[in-house]
Amino acid sequence: MIREITGFSNPLVKQVRQLREKKHRRLSRRFLAEGLRILTEAHEAGALPELLFFAGDHDAHPLVAALIEATQAAGGEVLRTTPDILSKLSGKDNPQTVVGVYPERFTPLDDIDRGVADIWIVAQALRDPGNLGTILRTGDAVGAGGLILIDDCVDPFSVESVRASMGALFTQTIVQARWEQFLPWLRAGAGQLIGTSLNTDNDYQAPRYESPAFLLVGNEAQGLPEPYEAECDLLVKMPMLGKADSLNAAVATAVMAYELLNQRRARG
């Protein structure tokens, strides 16, 4: 059964709108995802919303109809509403076709099976949601096992991060940990820790990387702290032939991730 919501004063509209704020996401352990492409990517990855909002007669679209059917079959609730209310939920003047509410997708560090992938991305103190979302997309593209967020990073479940991930949020394992937790866990098993840094002369294409490789990238402004660099098995840097001394964090991650992937491909 599809429920109709047409009033801005409906308590559910207020509750869902509040998920745009971090404190409410943390309290409810829920987050918002917007747009047919992202929700379809989530569906294909096996994730369905607890609440699915759509406007007007958009259920005539085959992808929306598939989302509605799958959400109801999984026990979720489907709500038909107005474009204006969808706009209020998403915070955008041009509202998306659909908006979904999902449970948070954090995985405990100790539940990670490092052997399922050759590449893992580790990000320390990232601040920009666009960078975080783009790094998730890169991880998906290179077949990484997931993204391990170290120390105080931007919320991966913010609307901006989810939007920038373009659905990769639902295909990548996401972990939160302190450095003091991560390092002992890493050293308890196989894994080469590779840091990107300006404090080295090692060209990023020179080493033969091991598997699994844990690619460690630092904060956009400060890079990696010196004690973190000291714990890396390798420090590498990319050549900068112009006036800029470094790449954007998400771009640098993508360059390094594809170097790791290409070495795997070369070795068959």
pLDDT (tens digit, 9 = 90+) per residue, 6-21?
Answer: 888 899 999 999 999 9
Q: What is the mean pLDDT of the chain?
A: 93
Domains 2-103 and 109-266 share a fold: no
HEC profile of 87-140: HHHHCCCCCCCEEEEEECCECCHHHCCHHHCCEEEEEECCCCHHHHHHHHHHHH
pLDDT at position 30: 97
Q: Is the pLDDT of residue 96 over 90?
A: no
Between strands 119-124 and 146-150, the pairing is parallel
| CA dist list (Å): 13 to 5, 47, 229 | 8, 22, 46
- Give the torsion sign (CA, 231, 152, 258, 115): positive
pLDDT at position 240: 79
- What is the share, in percent, of the chain residues with pLDDT greater than 70? 97
Sequence-distant (6+) residues with CB within 8 A of 107 are 146, 173, 174, 175
Residue 36 DSSP SS3: helix
With contact defined as beta carbons under 8 Å apart, do 152 and 186 qualify? no
Residue 148 DSSP SS3: strand
Q: What is the pLDDT of residues 197-213, one digit of tens each?
A: 888 999 999 999 999 99
Q: Where are the domains of the chain?
A: 2-103, 109-266
CATH class, 109-266 region:
alpha beta
Averaged pLDDT, 128-156: 97
CA distance 213 to 6: 51
CA distance 32 to 17: 9
Confidence of residue 50 (pLDDT cuts 50, 70, 90): very high
220 or 42, which is more confident: 42
Q: Is the pLDDT of residue 190 over 70?
A: yes
pLDDT at position 95: 62
- What is the share, in percent, of the chain residues with pLDDT greater than 90? 80
Residue 82 DSSP SS3: coil
DSSP 150: E
235 or 89, which is more confident: 235
Residue 183 CB-half CA count within 13 A: 12
CA distance 119 to 184: 19
Residue 79 DSSP SS3: strand
Averaged pLDDT, 148-166: 95
CA distance 72 to 61: 17
Q: What is the pTM of this model?
A: 0.92
- Please identify which residue in the block is written with the tokens 């047409």: 6
Task: Give domain 2-103's CATH architecture.
Answer: 2-Layer Sandwich (3.30)
